[in-house]
Amino acid sequence: MSEDARWLAGLGEQARARLPREVYDYVAQGAREGVTAGEAAWAWHGHRLHPHVLRDVTDVDLSVPVLDGRAGVPWGIAPTTLQGAVHPDGELAVARATAEVDGLMVLTSNAGVTVEEVAATGVRWWLQAYLPSDRTLAIPLLRRAVAAGAGAVVLTVDTPVVATKYAAERAAVERRHPDLVGTNLELAAPNAEKALDLGPHDLDWLRELTGLPVVVKGVLRADDAVRCVQAGAAAVWVSNHGGRQLDRAVATAAALPDVVAAVGGRAQVYVDGGVRSGIDVVTALALGADAVFLGRPVMWALVEGELGVARMHREIGVQTVETLRLAGCSSVSDARGLASPAGLRSLAQAADLQ
């Protein structure tokens, strides 16, 4: 294991030591007792890979097709708010580092910087959106994102209400960092009541308003994935919101295979939740994900600013290439089917490995 691999594995503890307590707690916490958040990483450990041999792995291609082209790497940046509380450069540091690897960044609608500033970094980016009960409140930000070059709209659907947290609340972090309230926060109408009546018609509305492909984020069930595809979703994103919404929701590593099977290639399938290493990335790809997204590791790496996020990308890349070579794969597409849900051990067994 390289020195950087040890650095990557220890990012969370490094962040705990360096961040103000309320910022660390806000990022790290899950909803209520944190059951779902706590299971996320170890759920990937329960799958087993079935490697090929006698394959030429001299050159490994990490690029993957995404909705607006081809990304240079199969992992991207999940939308995460209050990045500026972790480092003053916040989203712009993440964007610049991600642009260097030709990666994809999904910008939260609650970002503390403008969409124009992010676009100016040259990163490939999509806008994550919540829909308020009054849909018209979302229009200004959506139109501004289109004008700035967003490649897709990612509709988060698992947050009709904000779940109870027992640790730091966002308001406490914002009081300490009032400068984080930027243009996007104002355009996104953060205090507006979230829609309790989201439905398939909202995908049509978003697509017609923006002219962009729509990704539905927060899907954990096969039947819901089918409804999304039937409603015109270009991609379905398997996510439990980092364990920050419904506690005791299923781990994404367990939900992914059924969603992939149900979608059946009619749309792309993405996944986040507990991905901490290159071997986790390959495991998700082997289970059928078209791309994998990182949340907390990005925030922990961001403690060191742009250099930290760039280092994270490099190490994930080294680990992903090594894993693909050991699995007999010269491209990301070769990894598909190398893992089976039948290889998933119980989370309790996986936890015993700690």
Q: What is the pLDDT of residues 225-282, one digit of tens each?
A: 999 999 999 999 999 998 898 999 999 999 999 999 999 999 999 999 999 999 999 9
Phi, psi of 63 (to 5 degrees): -70, 150
Give a yes or no: residue 12 inside a domain. yes
Give a yes or no: residue 344 inside a domain. no
Number of domains in the chain: 1
pLDDT at 346: 47
Query: Which CATH number do you get for residue 140?
Result: 3.20.20.70
Give a yes or no: residue 115 inside a domain. yes
Give a yes or no: residue 348 inside a domain. no
* Top-confidence residue, 142 or 168: 142
Phi, psi of 267 (to 5 degrees): -155, 165
DSSP single-letter state for residue 127: E
Q: What is the pLDDT of residues 11-44, one digit of tens each?
A: 999 999 999 998 999 999 998 988 998 999 999 9
Residue range(s) defining the domain that contains residue 239: 3-338
Give a yes or no: residue 271 inside a domain. yes
Query: Of residues 45, 47, 87, 241, which has the active-site annotation?
Result: 241
Give a yes or no: residue 277 inside a domain. yes
Give a yes or no: residue 126 inside a domain. yes
- Considering the chain, what percentage of its residues have pLDDT values greater than 70? 88
- Cα separation of 312 and 301, whole Å? 6
DSSP single-letter state for residue 292: E
- Cα separation of 86 and 98, whole Å? 17
pTM of the model: 0.92
- Cα separation of 280 and 297, whole Å? 13
Q: Tell me, yes or no, if 87 is annotated catalytic.
A: no
Average of per-residue pLDDT across 70-98: 97
Per-residue tokens: 270: 């993405």
- Confirm if 137 and 200 have CB atoms less than 8 A apart: no
Average of per-residue pLDDT across 94-121: 97
Give a yes or no: residue 233 inside a domain. yes
